Amino acid sequence: MSAFNAIGEEREIDRDEFTPGNEPQPTWCPGCGDFGVLKALKQALPEVGRNPEEVLTVTGIGCSGKLNSYLDSYGFHTIHGRSLPVARAAKLANPELEVVAAGGDGDGYGIGGNHLIHTARENHDMTYIVFNNEVFGLTKGQTSPTSPKGHKSKTQPSGSAKTPIRPLSQSLNAGAGYIARTAAVNPNQAKEIIKEAIEYDGFAHIDFLTQCPTWNKDAKQYVPYIDIQESDDYEHDTTDREEAARMMFETENKLYEGEVLTGRYYVDDESPSYQAEKTALGEMPDEPLVERYFDDDYEWERSYDLLERHK
């Protein structure tokens, strides 16, 4: 019998199960886009049959980092920029967990940028949601890696001279298997994208546009959102890497030109996930590593067995 009975338990799951009882109410500002992520995630998880105890959400620091304070599952609120390596390892140790990592644009594209490149290139089977509001929120409004060129803040008083990062193109180049952008103002699409990402067997990167009503009043919540899957003007084959690259390049330019395109850009339906690659190489255990610690009959190999070559 498994030591993790919550995993794969089949039952009707009410989305309220993901809402903590007497626990803190969100401290996000009124009108914050982060509410949109929380809501979409709470809706998506039960719809794909995940119960709160088989889900591990791993967050970084910032307003986004509080996501798992308000979502009642197993949660790990880590440190600034480090959610991905923590999440990756939890998934390797117990591949049956549903691992969802989340962070902000400062957390995920700034301080944690290096981890994103490597998690994407390894194509770990997990979902990564980046709350992108183009500004540092919790530290009070500084310029972030996605702030547009010319963005003025207390730390860039003359306006930023830096080109904003293109996170989705970067993840595509790195090797992520599923790439999408959605927005808090587009709740139905957001839920569908999260569901797809969770069910995708590989690294799913969602750039989630979340307006910041306090520090970034110019944010794009007021401009038209175009769902590329719904619009004939933007048709492309999402499984074609080159087309996806062109599409992403175009949309990442438009992101700062008053027109916001959202939707699914790329789905690699051929490349195996990292776990699958590692299994093929014989470098993953046959069953979840963690189960072994609860198996009284398991024969643990000892260093004594390795001494032959030291004689």
Partner 1 sequence: MTDDELIWRIAGGSGDGIDSTSQNFAKALMRSGLDIFTHRHYPSRIRGGHTYVEIRAAGHEVQSRGDGYNFLLALGDSFARNPKEEAVYGDEEIKPLSENLDELREGGVIVYDSGLLEEDDVAELDLDERAEENDWHVFPINLRGMAKEHGREVMRNTAGVGVTAALLEMDLEHIENLMTDAMSGDVLEANLSILRDAYKMAQEEYEFEHDVRAPTGEHDEEQVLVSGSNAIAYGAIDEGCRFIAGYPMTPWTDVFTIMTQNLPKMGGISEQVEDEIAAAALAVGASHAGAKAMSGSSGGGFALMSEPLGLAEMTETPLVLVESMRAGPSTGMPTKPEQADLEHVLYTSQGDSQRVVFAPGNIEEAYDQTRMAFHVAYEYQIPTILIYDQKLSGENKNVDESFFDREPNPTLGSTLTEEELKEAAHEASGKFMRFQSDPDETENGVSPRSLPGQKGGRYLASGNEHWPSGHIAEDPDNRVLQMDRRKRKIESIRRELDEEHDSQQTYFGDEDADLGIITWGSQQGTVEEAVERLNDNGHSVKGIGVSDMMPFPEGEMTEFLESVDEALVVEMNASAQFRGLLQKELGRYGPKLTSMLKYNGNPFEPGEIVEGFEIRLGGDSAEPTAQVRFEPAAGD
Residues that bind partner 1 (CB under 8 A): 3-7, 9, 20-24, 52-54, 56, 58, 61, 66, 68-69, 72-79, 82, 85-94, 96-97, 114-115, 117-118, 278, 282-286, 289-290, 292-294, 298, 300-304, 306-307, 310-311
* Smallest distance from partner 1 to CB 153, Å: 25
* CA atoms of 130 and 121, how far apart (whole Å): 17
Cβ distance to partner 1 smaller for residue 30 or 311: 311
* Smallest distance from partner 1 to CB 16, Å: 13
SS3 label, residue 166: coil
Cβ distance to partner 1 smaller for residue 82 or 195: 82
Amino acid present at 12: E
* Smallest distance from partner 1 to CB 145, Å: 18
CA angle 147, 163, 214 (to 5 degrees): 5
Half-sphere exposure of 89 (CA within 13 A, CB side): 6
Contacts of 277 (CB under 8 A, 6+ apart): 123
For residues 106 and 136, is the Cβ–Cβ distance under 8 A? yes
* Smallest distance from partner 1 to CB 6, Å: 4
Closest Cα partner for 204 from 214, 196, 216? 196
Cβ distance to partner 1 smaller for residue 94 or 173: 94
Amino acid present at 278: K
Cβ distance to partner 1 smaller for residue 27 or 239: 27
Q: What is the rounded radius of gyration, in angstroms, for the C-alpha atoms of the chain? A: 20
Cβ distance to partner 1 smaller for residue 9 or 235: 9
* Smallest distance from partner 1 to CB 70, Å: 10
Helices (H) then strands (E): counts for the chain: 8, 8
* Smallest distance from partner 1 to CB 298, Å: 8
In SS3 terms, 240-295 reads as CHHHHHHHHHHHHHHCCCCCEEEEEEEECCCCCCHHHHHHHCCCCCCCCHHHHHHC
* CA atoms of 172 and 146, how far apart (whole Å): 17
Cβ distance to partner 1 smaller for residue 114 or 163: 114
Length of the chain as a residue count: 311
* CA atoms of 275 and 289, how far apart (whole Å): 13
What does the block give as tokens for 36?
């949109």
* Smallest distance from partner 1 to CB 280, Å: 12
* Smallest distance from partner 1 to CB 295, Å: 9
Cβ distance to partner 1 smaller for residue 89 or 240: 89
* Smallest distance from partner 1 to CB 277, Å: 13
Cβ distance to partner 1 smaller for residue 61 or 102: 61
Cβ distance to partner 1 smaller for residue 39 or 77: 77
Please provide residue 112's backbone torsions phi and psi, each rounded to the nearest 5 degrees: -100, 15
* CA atoms of 149 and 137, how far apart (whole Å): 18
